[in-house]
Amino acid sequence: MNLLLDTHIAIWALNDDPALSEKARKLILDPDNTIYYSTVSVWEVLLKHTRRPGNIPFDESDFSEGCREAGFVPLSLTDKHVLAVHTLSRPNYIKEHNDPFDRLLLAQAKVENFSFLTHDELIPGYEEKCVIPV
Domains in the chain with CATH codes: 2-133 (3.40.50.1010)
- The answer to whether the pTM exceeds 0.85 is yes
Is the predicted pLDDT of residue 96 greater than 90, yes or no? no
d(CA 7, CA 99): 12
- Model confidence pLDDT, tens digit, residues 9-54: 999 999 999 999 999 999 999 999 999 999 999 999 999 998 888 7
Distances (CA, A) of 123 to 14, 53, 91, 116, 117: 22, 26, 12, 10, 10
For the chain, the average pLDDT equals 94
d(CA 27, CA 76): 22
How high is the pLDDT of residue 33?
Answer: 98
Element (H, E) at 50: helix 39-51
